[in-house]
Amino acid sequence: MRKRFIYPVFSLLILSCVESCYIPNSLYVFSPQTIPAGYQITKVEAVNCDPKTLHLTVEDPSFTIQSNGLIEARIPVTVATRGRTFSVRAQDNSGPGSEMKVHLVCSAKQERNENGQAILKRTKRRWSPPPINILENDKGPFPKQLETIVSDSDLKYNVYYTMEGPGVNQFPFEVFSLHKDSGVLTVYQTLDREEYPQFTLRINALDRQTHMPRDLPLDIVVAVDDVNDNKPEFQGKLEFTVPEQTADMVVGKVNATDRDDPNTDHVKIKFMLKDGLEYFALNPDTGVITTVSNKLDRETKDTHRVTVEIRDLKGAPNGLSNTATATITLADINDNPPTFTQTSYKASISENEGEKLILRIPVEDKDLINTPNWITKFVITKGNENGNFRIDTDPKTNDGLLYVTKPLDYEKTSNMKLEISAQNEAKLSGTTAQWMSIPVDVAVIDIDEGPEFLPPTVRYNVKENIPNGTVIGTYKAVDPETKSHNGITYYKASDPGSWVGVNRNTGELTVTNTIDRESPLVQDGIYNITVRAVDATSKSGIGTVILVVEDENDNKPLIPEELRMCEQTDDQLGSLVVVAEDNDLSPFSAPFIFSMPPVHDGNWDVKPHNETAALLMQKKKLPTGIYVVSIIAEDQQGFGGKQTAKMRICHCINGACMDKARSVVLGPLGILALLLPLFLLLLLGLLLIFFCSSKSEKILFDDTGYSSGILLPSNTEAPGDQVDSSLIILAKTGIEQAVKGSVKGSMVNAGWLGNKSTSTIGGYSVHDNGFQQNSGLNTMNKHTFSSSQFGQYGQHVGSQVFGNGMDHAQIVQSPAEFQNWRTNAFYLREKLIYLGNEMIEENECYADDLIHCYGYEGVGSAAGSVGCCSEHGDEGNLEFLDTLGPKFKTLSEISTMR
């Protein structure tokens, strides 16, 4: 199959939209196998080139090109069967220029088409033929003939042609067509290389009669040549971050792409920075942005925006371009140390105060807030050698907080001079500045302190069991202000065993009770007491006395009081390890020495087992039972003696001693569980007897002898209602000077008798001649009661003064006691007569201490006066109940019901 190529027409198809000087990328030309000198190969048409500055060059010295684009052979040239290729370049002043590859293809013969153009015709070779080139974005006119395809079989057979593939019967459709008779390949529309870079078409030559193939199928490639019709585009976000105060540091890389042919200059992009050149630089080939100055200060300007341009055709003026804004953010570095707002600070603190905030120190920092470059770390560089101070950072304000952690002593120092440095968590960078420090003066305020012991803790060595009264030492306190011991007294604050006494004036410590090192109050030989010192202003201080109790040999080794030994079933003799204990320390303790007393029963023997134990052995076979064994146990100082223990020889099972008889012992809950059913049965029987024997009947009340069914005199009267003072009738007798406030030295202010009335005090009737001994009168002693006390306790004075209602026969058991009772009764009787004759005219404050006579309150009332009840001197006479009137009628009926 042969192909006819129409190169002159195809090579001159140029898009009007191309801006730069342009020639096609490639050109295929059929030529003789031997090209003579001066043979015109083809003509190159340049588009958008300045004819005045256009310069055409060819790289193969066998050829030359004229200014009009005509290529000629300078010398005879032989074209090999594989063809020959050389480059042609077009360049003007508008840009980088363009390059074209010229491919020479050897042909067999030439024909002319209808227009008279030469058509090369050659025999189709089975190697892949060169592609047919079409310039993208060609605007026509369409349809446009590309080539004529002729098969070698058309010389012998009558054939027709068919074509298939993309652009024909595959998407995109109706792009190409092939004339079935002439084999002319035609294109119908503009092509976009970025969408369809090439088309592969399969052409068949078929017999017109049999429709069978007369030649092998031919694959034709239609390549779409690129034109610079796509601007370069930015890729990714143009946002970068770089530390401040840095030069020659990479900020970031600008990425760009171009959709044009990657094998052309259409995608070769140049990068350019339009502004910000005083701080940044942009590599034109790689797109890398770098800093050029160390004057980038975040505190002055933290964000920079620069314009970046990208242009293809290697940055030629006629190249397509695009611009964008890149944002460069300056990252903070610690180039600003914190600064103090003052040059010095002062604070004050009372002595003996601790864990107290005394000063807040503000600072300023220009670095980024809430970062390690801004957060301040305060350091006390001087004056805190004793650790009295602590400084923290307020997380909200970044201020320094100065605390006193250990109390200060005014007597030791009245002023503390500190030096405080303000630093950051991060180290300084990009600056020559240093951390700042300021002086802080802390004034200690003197206060009146209590005495203090020097030293606060004292230690004394003392032997146990030393005699009482032995002086241990003297522990004194001093006044911090005067440094004197005067006016200080001493007291024990704690002494768990009451072993030590403290002299109140001198602070001398003496033994008051036996000191025992083995006491649980002594821990590891140490016994602590505390002493309190109090000055004249009642301020106090505490000191600690540590007694190191030294051991004495006051404890002998002790063996258990009860021992058990298993009876041996064979002829062997039993033995037992006896362990002794001694609370003393070495050398007053183990190793112990064990022996038998000089006189013993001969049944036992003992020999050492270890330092604290002995082996007790039978000397002869003994039956089960309880024996008394005596052993001498002594410590290494020989202190000890004979000790007696009960030895029980018993039957054993698996080494455990078994009792001969066993019994079950019930605890309190067990006994209660056994007795509970008996109690329940007894209760049930009592209930049955009660229900069977009880019946409803009227119970008669005996109203004789002051039974509880009628109104009775009571000794539990509460204070009555307030009485109108106009109704009180005072006796018109003479009165002597009364004792003001209270009647001191009297037994009880029992009241006074007027002409009309008597009164009951504490359950006893009071008459002109003294007391009516209604319930018996007890013995009594002289006491002092004020008038207010009598008013408060008058309700119960009978039980408090005269006893608890007990008969005097129960109390008075001797003539002396009876005489004492009579003396007291006589005294009370005389006192009451004296008070009954008293008249109070000048000072009415004693009215409540005396018995009053009240006037008749029931004028005009059928009920009469309640006060009438006090007119009856005989408490046993109950006839007045019949004349009480309607006010107490109901109460009387209820009280006398039978």
CATH number, span 562-657: 2.60.40.60
State the average pLDDT for the chain: 78
pLDDT reported for residue 768: 38
The CATH class for the domain spanning 339-445 reads: mainly beta
H or E stretch including 463?
strand 457-463
Name the more confident of 599 and 733. 599
339-445 and 452-550 have identical folds: yes
Mean per-residue pLDDT, 317-345: 95
Query: Of the given ranges (3-7, 130-134, 507-511), which has the lowest mean pLDDT?
Result: 3-7
Highest-scoring range by mean pLDDT, 2-6, 535-539, 861-865, 866-870: 535-539
Mean per-residue pLDDT, 830-842: 60
* Positive/negative CA dihedral, 379, 380, 386, 388: negative
* Positive/negative CA dihedral, 281, 282, 283, 287: positive
Above pLDDT 90, what percent of the chain? 39
pLDDT greater than 90 at residue 300:
yes
CATH T-level fold of 2-225: Immunoglobulin-like (2.60.40)
Q: Where are the beta strands (DSSP E) in 506-638?
A: 508-511, 526-534, 540-550, 562-566, 575-579, 593-595, 604-608, 613-618, 625-634
Give the DSSP letter of residue 213.
B
Cα-based distances in Å from 390 to 231, 348, 380, 403, 420: 67, 15, 8, 5, 11
d(CA 58, CA 44): 11
Mean per-residue pLDDT, 470-493: 88
3-state SS class at 789: helix
Report the half-sphere exposure of 643 (CA within 13 A, side-chain side). 23
CA 604 from chain center: how many Å? 72
Residues 6+ apart with CB under 8 A from 564: 576, 647, 648, 649, 650, 657
Taking phi over 0 as left and psi of -120 to 50 as alpha, with beta for the rest, 45 belongs to beta
Highest-scoring range by mean pLDDT, 65-74, 309-318, 656-665: 309-318
Name the more confident of 496 and 696. 496
What are the residue ranges spanned by the domains of the chain?
Answer: 2-225, 233-331, 339-445, 452-550, 562-657, 725-883
Per the CB < 8 A criterion, the answer to whether 832 and 770 are in contact is yes
pLDDT greater than 60 at residue 804:
no
pLDDT reported for residue 708: 44
pLDDT greater than 80 at residue 489:
yes
pLDDT reported for residue 15: 33
d(CA 91, CA 105): 26
pLDDT greater than 70 at residue 863:
no
pLDDT greater than 50 at residue 7:
no
- In this predicted model, what pLDDT tens digit does every residue of 602-652 receive, in sequence order? 888 898 989 889 998 888 888 888 889 999 998 888 888 889 989 898 988
pLDDT greater than 60 at residue 808:
no
Give the DSSP letter of residue 812.
-
- In this predicted model, what pLDDT tens digit does every residue of 572-590 receive, in sequence order? 888 889 999 888 888 888 8
Residues 6+ apart with CB under 8 A from 390: 402, 403, 405
pLDDT reported for residue 285: 95
pLDDT reported for residue 144: 92
pLDDT classification of 45: cutoffs 50, 70, 90: confident
Query: Of the given ranges (135-139, 461-465, 811-815, 892-896), which has the lowest mean pLDDT?
Result: 811-815
pLDDT greater than 90 at residue 443:
yes
pLDDT greater than 60 at residue 527:
yes
pLDDT classification of 20: cutoffs 50, 70, 90: low
CATH T-level fold of 452-550: Immunoglobulin-like (2.60.40)
pLDDT classification of 889: cutoffs 50, 70, 90: low
Mean per-residue pLDDT, 680-685: 86
pLDDT reported for residue 770: 39
- In this predicted model, what pLDDT tens digit does every residue of 371-429 receive, in sequence order? 999 999 999 999 999 999 999 999 999 999 999 999 998 888 999 999 999 999 999 99
Residue 708: exposed, middle, or buried by beta-carbon count in 10 A (0-12, 13-18, 19+)? exposed
Highest-scoring range by mean pLDDT, 2-16, 368-382, 534-548, 729-743: 368-382
> Tokens at residue 463, please?
């032997």
- In this predicted model, what pLDDT tens digit does every residue of 704-746 receive, in sequence order? 444 444 455 555 555 555 544 444 444 333 333 333 333 333 3
pLDDT greater than 90 at residue 136:
yes
CATH number, span 233-331: 2.60.40.60
d(CA 686, CA 793): 46
Mean per-residue pLDDT, 275-300: 94
Per the CB < 8 A criterion, the answer to whether 272 and 308 are in contact is yes
pLDDT reported for residue 892: 60
Residue with tokens 């980088």: 96
pLDDT reported for residue 54: 86
Highest-scoring range by mean pLDDT, 172-176, 576-580, 669-673, 853-857: 172-176
